[in-house]
A = this chain, B = another copy of it.
Amino acid sequence: MNIGQAAAAAGLSAKMVRYYESIGLVAPAVRTEAGYRVYGTEGVHTLRFIKRARSLGFSMDKTSELLQLWRDKSRASADVKAVALEHVAELERKIAELRSMADTLRHLAGHCHGDARPVCPILEELSDTPDRVDRTPPG
């Protein structure tokens, strides 16, 4: 099985598979005499594992950790769980951040007329100085 088929079977591109090998995420593939990488069920299985971990948002580092735990038949499930929950916490942090952005922005948009006139609270919010101490009061 060549790299293209293996990659397709795992839902990856051949480029990604070569990259994963280059950074040591997966062991170097066996080669044919012509230099072609050869993959078996085992290799595809590993690639699929990586694909899944990446789909769940794990970084390459975390994916590598998970791979090692996966290969270690005497791992403690507590270690896997710890990696997972740490990642969940990070995801939640990012979600909260994006949530805050979206809410702020939607609030501003809600106060924008959205017509042909130039007045716009969104731009005002973006341009207003945070403290108005230095500025002459409007009234």
Q: State the A residues within 8 Å of B (CB).
A: 45, 48-49, 52-53, 55-57, 66, 69-70, 72-78, 80-82, 84-85, 87-88, 91-92, 94-95, 98-99, 101-102, 104-106, 108-109, 112-120, 122-123, 125-127, 129
Knowing A91-B98, A126-B49, A127-B70 are in contact, say whether A113-B77 is a contact too (CB < 8 A): yes
A56 contact from B91, B101, B123, Cβ within 8 A: B101
**Are A94 and B98 closer than 8 Å at their CB atoms?**
yes
Knowing A70-B127, A81-B109, A101-B56 are in contact, say whether A115-B76 is a contact too (CB < 8 A): yes
**Are A57 and B98 closer than 8 Å at their CB atoms?**
yes
Q: What's the nearest-Cβ distance from chain B to residue A132, in Å?
A: 13
What are 21 A-B interface contacts by the 8 Å CB criterion? A45-B129, A48-B127, A49-B127, A57-B101, A69-B123, A70-B127, A73-B118, A76-B117, A76-B118, A77-B113, A77-B118, A78-B115, A80-B120, A80-B122, A81-B114, A81-B122, A82-B114, A84-B108, A91-B101, A91-B102, A91-B105
Taking CB atoms, residues of chain B closer than 8 Å to A95 are: 95, 98-99, 102
Number of chain copies forming the complex = 2
Taking CB atoms, residues of chain B closer than 8 Å to A102 are: 88, 91-92, 95
**Are B126 and A53 closer than 8 Å at their CB atoms?**
yes
A131 CA / B96 CA spacing, docked (Å): 35
